[in-house]
Chain A
Amino acid sequence: MTPTLQVVLVVSTALFSAGLLAALSRRHAIFILIGIEMMLAAANLNFIAFWRFSPQPQPPTGVMIVIFSIAIAAAEAAVGLALVIAVYRHYRTTSVDHFDQLKG
């Protein structure tokens, strides 16, 4: 029994939901970023799965998209973590419950 595309998609959906769980339910700002990175990784897995299971011969589109996606995710993680450090310097805490100065 070789894995069908459905199995791979189920795995990537589970990974996406785990990332969503981390992003929604955590209080520490960095964990929300970790959740976002996990969701990005799940989306990359989706791209590669669809590329692999499509009829051959196939141009390397899926692989290209994932390469750029990884680069962008790394840049976004760097900027996001720099933001967290800058915010920490001001508020002295990383719990997102306390970032409510703009609350109406």
Chain B
Amino acid sequence: MSSVAFVIIAILTLAAALAAATLQKLMHAALSFAATLVGVAALFFLLGAEFVGLVLIFVYIGAVAVLIVFTILLTRRDVGKDRGANWTGALLATGVFGGLIWAILKTQSVAIVAPHMRSISVKRIGEALMTSYVWPLQCVGLLLTAALIGALVLVMEEKR
């Protein structure tokens, strides 16, 4: 696994994530969120899970990011700006970050290097989905149908 590529992609992803959390202009923050997701997908590619990276791009950027920008558009009555990060939020987030980093750096058993592995093939994922994970697959299908119907019902205009 190439470490130069990893460091560059990680820095870009974190920069985009910070931009998404702190930018004032709404649309820019939403588009930085999409850039963060591209970075996370690239990290998945580097970690050998290419199928998941592609699914992430497809679902998140193709659907969720478009949903988010549409909703920003539709609820844009007052202002195109938002107050950025404020003090209590930043303090809490930094506190959580510090605590987790301390826990990670203290654990010696995670200071390991990646074992040699070929990327997982789509065929194996398909086999696993249809044999060991077939119940979660059906449940997720049901959940997605319920979410679809629920979202439609929520935004339907009430009949007078």
Contacts and interface: CB of A to CB of B under 8 A. Distances in A.
On whether A and B touch (CB less than 8 Å), the answer reads yes
A60 B114 CA distance: 16
B127 to A, nearest CB: 9
A59 to B, nearest CB: 7
Interface string B38-77: 0010011001110110011001100110011001101101
Contact of B77 (A22, A83, A92): A92
A54 B113 CA distance: 10
Contact of A45 (B43, B136, B147): B43
Main secondary structure on chain B at its contact with chain A?
helix
Interface residues of A, number: 73
A10 B97 CA distance: 9
B60 A74 contact: yes
Contacts of B60: 37, 41, 70, 73-74
B47 A8 contact: yes
A15 B126 CA distance: 29
B148 A78 contact: yes
B128 A17 contact: no
A38 B36 contact: yes
A85 B73 CA distance: 11
A56 interface: yes
A59 B125 CA distance: 10
Contacts of B96: 16-17, 20
A72 B136 CA distance: 11
A28 B115 contact: no
Interface string A21-43: 11011111011011101100100
Kindly list the 4 A-B residue pairs having the minimum CB-CB distance in the complex, ordered from nearest: A25-B89, A75-B147, A17-B97, A24-B89
6 contacts: A17-B100, A28-B82, A49-B47, A51-B49, A63-B52, A67-B52
Interface of A: 1-11, 13-22, 24-28, 30-31, 33-35, 37-38, 41, 44-45, 48-49, 51-56, 58-60, 62-64, 66-68, 70-79, 81-86, 88, 92-94
